[in-house]
Chains A and B, each alone.
Chain A
């Protein structure tokens, strides 16, 4: 696909971006509201074109472990799911992080807990950035707020994943996954050649040539002294991400007396609420998180110095607000507003919350 203006769903954008970004393999399992990802891939038949492998697995446990197996050979391998399926993948994710395997996982969030609902939600923030699985690990977590970003972030994900040998999570939600918007496609990035794979992933397990020791992909270290050293190495990697790979967007924050912090779908609603507030003469800015891990703590703290209050808008009972309060050291009045269980708040509700919880 060359550069073109297209109209498509967020889920379709994910699938087309996987093909266009030179992804080698996709392994998935159907779940609402993200099934269009695999449906698009199956309909596009990329194995006939780019050689990309697409397989429907027997479960999310199998698909995340297929990602492990395939990605551990040094190839670009991805999966996608929605909240309950992502819960099933947590074991695989901690193994992937522990074995330092680059890969891409997309979560198109729906409401929980349990089987919950199939409508959009943002209640997997804690699961995404506070572990999810066991052990001290982090996923580089991108939060797209448009169909265009669903597409673009797949390309960005591969750069980060291989630069840091770390899994990347695109944390989206049912609203972005299901809505149709225009987007500009990109030129195809060819899949890596054999030489490129070996150069970019010298640690990969593709069959040991006579001139190198065997490569081993494992997250096991029975010697706790060595395991501690390894944990320090991981922490240094996460610290470097915090230093170099933070992404965020600020709108009207320069003169703002109040700011709304939000990501994904909520940031779109917050943007409208901000415009409505400005029309009423209230100086409101929007601080949109693009990376949830690493969290833009320093940048947010800087902005918070000059405002009277912060409203955190999230389609949850209040998860992201904890990181906002930590970033600002609770120095500013900070409140949460959210609808959950699959309900999307309206801009009017957000504005009312701002006026009642923060400004009043």
Chain B
């Protein structure tokens, strides 16, 4: 259904006395998203778009999409966009912002892109304190290529390349990149959120808003991790996948602010989190 048809139908319903309670965000395009139903990408896209809309900065935003499930993010956001090589989005964003200081620049990356192949770009952009926003969607797996082990795959978690579960002796430990970059003086705001319930969505949106507001105030790098299910990669229904995420991902990747206004949050023990893996998971 074309946009004009949608608008006409909407008008028709409003004329019949219906009330509009939920509508498309204008910063999202009409393109039909390719994401799997139930995946957190669609929700996270919408939250970023709502924040851009509410801040009135649509004409100042340049986004950078990664390689991975969200490679086509540029088709969904109605803002200028660049598509980076795998892992390099923070390098692109660095130059975009430095050469165009009046723009709002954000990267939108997955865990394979940001925490494996792009580790160097991630750490150095964070360490330089680039005045950008990084949105990091962590689903513990390489979704687009068919569900292989990611740096964030849990111990014992099955994937296409760990069919018997991730083993520490073979594959090493899951990487908590978010805790890691929170220890760098260049990061100003570091938080982990999720989008599996309405309450979580509201908190995630507030975090994204804060990340963009920090950029407006030229405070340095803001980093928002969003935990998402990958129901198709995990081979579960969306409902099962969200439950599995709460039971298994969240103990390993605790949700909440890690660093606010350039200071580590008091009750978050980053050093302990860096080494402690509380749960061995078997699917």
Contacts and interface: CB of A to CB of B under 8 A. Distances in A.
The answer to whether A binds B is yes
Interface in B72-110: 72, 74-75, 77-85, 88, 91-96, 98-100, 102-103
A87 interface: no
Contact of A205 (B71, B82, B94): B82
| Contact-size category for A | 35 or more
B99 A24 contact: yes
Interface in B52-74: 58-62, 64, 71-72, 74
Contact of A66 (B58, B72, B92): B92
Contacts of A58: 120-121, 124
Nearest to A213: B78
B95 A77 contact: yes
A73 B62 contact: yes
Contact of A218 (B61, B78, B83): B83
A210 interface: yes
B85 A214 contact: no
A306 B83 CA distance: 51
Given A69-B96, A73-B99, A207-B61, A62 B121 contact: yes
A217 B85 contact: no
Contacts of B103: 206-207
Interface residues of B, number: 35
Interface string A61-73: 1110111111011
A69 B91 CA distance: 7
A50 interface: no
Given A65-B92, A207-B59, A25 B99 contact: yes
B80 A75 contact: no
A216 B61 contact: no
A352 interface: no
Residue from B75, B77, B96 having most chain A Cβ neighbours under 10 A: B96
Interface string A59-98: 1011101111110110101000000000000011001000
Interface of A: 24-25, 27, 53, 55, 57-59, 61-63, 65-70, 72-73, 75, 77, 91-92, 95, 99, 205-210, 214-220
Interface of B: 29, 58-62, 64, 71-72, 74-75, 77-85, 88, 91-96, 98-100, 102-103, 120-121, 124
Given A69-B64, A75-B99, 20 more contacts: A25-B98, A53-B99, A55-B94, A55-B98, A62-B124, A65-B91, A65-B95, A68-B84, A68-B85, A72-B92, A73-B99, A75-B100, A207-B80, A207-B102, A208-B59, A208-B78, A216-B80, A216-B81, A216-B82, A216-B83
